Structure 1
Amino acid sequence: MTDVAPTTQAQLRAHFPDLPQSPLIDRAFDYARDRCPAFLFNHAARSWMFAAKLAMLEDVAHDAEILAVSTLLHDLGLTEHAVGPNRFEVNGAGVAATFVREQGFDDRRAQLVWDSIALHATPSIGVFKEPEVALCARGVGADFGTPDNDLLGASAIALAVAAAPRLDMKRRFTACVCHMAETKPETTYPTFIRDFGERLVPGYKAPSWVDVIANGPFSE
């Protein structure tokens, strides 16, 4: 499949005119768009649309800039622009927090961006955090399929896909995370990428806490 350019703000706003707008959101949009392959950026853009729509449907008070920045930058850790020794969410969260601090965010707002991105793939924790953190996780999850899809409705989902086409998302995302499981397996054991490694990557073997506890340095 020949790649195409990632979606633009104009395309998003043509379908979701109520999306929040600010100079900072514009800069975050361009920052992510310049650093992510088109399929991954379009996923981030749809995640933003879904998160913003969920906030509107449920009338959730939140910081719209934090939610926009967090969803747009949430997958930087899957690119070469946020490499590091940690799980991809943490690597990406660090780069995003640095970016927003450079844009003038105080420590509290930068921390919320960090938390939103670091926890976006751990919704069992994220949904109990601040509204921005919870909405980020829910928006990202909706682009894979969660109970929130029923709340969003088929029309909103179709609009998001029209604004930011999926571009072979399932296959490309699978290839992306399998590559990480192959090349940096030690960063994937506590993440959802472990599922891909165990199912699809020959030779992938995650350590087990059963063995850690059984072999611990204690007599009982």
Structure 2
Amino acid sequence: MSALTTTKPKPGKACMLCHLASGAVTSSLSKARSRIRRHQPPYLPPEAYAIPDSALSQKALALVTECSPTFLLNHSLRSYAFGLAMAHKVKQPIDQEVFFVGSVMHDLGLTETYAGAETFEIEGARAAREFCLRHDLAPQKADLVHEMVALHNSVGVAHRCDPEIALLHFGAGADVAGLWGHDLNRRTIAEVLARFPEEGFKPGMIALIEQEVQRKPQSYMSTLVELGFLKQMAKACW
């Protein structure tokens, strides 16, 4: 893995619009192919996205549960499940323990406990990596967790990275803004939402992002907000 991502400056609107347009075209073509072929995304049973029983996974879950509101914890768990449900998009094996830890901790920087001066993705990535190293995860895997958190919302970048990074990007994007819904089995969606309820998620998450951008106008999310991300999030539904 290359050097860790330690900064995420505010991207220009033109650059972000280019990435968003490219993603929209790719998604539209994928949807069209699926319709023509009458392809249904594979069903993922609940046991496939059960929380790993490793000590590291349980400790990560406990930490996030302690410092996060329930709506944010459930979002992270849905992102984990939806990411696994879209494994067919990357067609590469993943380390499921690493994927769980990175997924469940990906919004640590939005919590009061781990908020800091840097953009929330970097604050969360640093905290997640330090946590992993304290609990004896191999440095290379801890670095991967760091990059999962740092890049989870990096439009035009994350999908080209390691499969764990790409799948968290897909899973979180699906849960927050309804992206890539055509790549998810409808039964899987219903079961994930039943297992990890959305109650309070949209207003809670919108408030957290608004606070982030107000405190840090040069943060990465600020450009997405200026381009209407919060409106898209508010309208998204399964």
Tell me if both proteins adopt one fold, taking TM over 0.5 as the criterion: yes
Measured against aligned partners, the alpha-carbon deviations of 1:37-61 in whole angstroms (never above 9, x if no partner) come to 1111110010011112222686530
**Is 1:74–1:117's contact at 8 Å kept on the other side of the alignment?**
yes
* Structure 2 stretches lacking a partner, 5+ long: 1-44, 230-238
Which residue of 98, 109, 122 corresponds with 1:90?
122
Q: Take 1:23 and 1:126, find their aligned partners in 2: how far apart are those partners?
A: 28
RMSD between superposed Cα atoms in Å: 2.2
Measured against aligned partners, the alpha-carbon deviations of 1:144-176 in whole angstroms (never above 9, x if no partner) come to 2112x2121221111111011111222211111
Which residue of 130, 138, 143 corresponds with 1:106?
138
Give, in angstroms, the shift of residue 184 of structure 1. Answer: 2.9
Query: Which secondary structure does the structure 2 equivalent of 1:124 belong to?
Result: coil
**Is 2:119–2:216's contact at 8 Å kept on the other side of the alignment?**
no
The residue number in structure 1 matching 2:185 is 153
Query: Which secondary structure does the structure 1 equivalent of 2:153 belong to?
Result: coil
Q: Take 1:89 and 1:135, find their aligned partners in 2: how far apart are those partners?
A: 16
1:35 is the counterpart of 2:64: no
Which residue of 69, 72, 80 corresponds with 2:101?
69
Measured against aligned partners, the alpha-carbon deviations of 1:4-25 in whole angstroms (never above 9, x if no partner) come to xxxxxxxxxxx71122522221
The residue number in structure 1 matching 2:82 is 50
Query: Which secondary structure does the structure 2 equivalent of 1:185 belong to?
Result: coil
**TM-score, length-normalised on structure 2?**
0.71
The alpha-carbon distance between structure 1 residues 76 and 165, as it changes in their structure 2 partners (threshold 3 A), is: same
* Structure 1 stretches lacking a partner, 5+ long: 1-14, 201-220
Measured against aligned partners, the alpha-carbon deviations of 1:180-217 in whole angstroms (never above 9, x if no partner) come to 2223323x2xx2333436769xxxxxxxxxxxxxxxxx
The residue number in structure 2 matching 1:213 is none
Q: Take 2:157 and 2:89, find their aligned partners in 1: how far apart are those partners?
A: 22
The residue number in structure 2 matching 1:184 is 216
Query: Which secondary structure does the structure 1 equivalent of 2:114 belong to?
Result: coil
The residue number in structure 1 matching 2:111 is 79
Identity of aligned residues (%): 29
Residue 83 of structure 1 aligns to which amino acid in structure 2? Answer: A
The residue number in structure 1 matching 2:171 is 139
The alpha-carbon distance between structure 1 residues 156 and 102, as it changes in their structure 2 partners (threshold 3 A), is: same
The residue number in structure 1 matching 2:28 is none
**Is 2:124–2:150's contact at 8 Å kept on the other side of the alignment?**
yes
**TM-score, length-normalised on structure 1?**
0.76
The alpha-carbon distance between structure 1 residues 111 and 185, as it changes in their structure 2 partners (threshold 3 A), is: same
Aligned pairs, number: 183
Q: Take 1:48 and 1:199, find their aligned partners in 2: how far apart are those partners?
A: 25
The residue number in structure 2 matching 1:206 is none
Q: Take 1:121 and 1:25, find their aligned partners in 2: how far apart are those partners?
A: 22
The alpha-carbon distance between structure 1 residues 178 and 57, as it changes in their structure 2 partners (threshold 3 A), is: closer
Give, in angstroms, the shift of residue 102 of structure 1. Answer: 0.9
1:194 is the counterpart of 2:211: no
The residue number in structure 2 matching 1:18 is 48
Larger Cα-atom Rg: 1
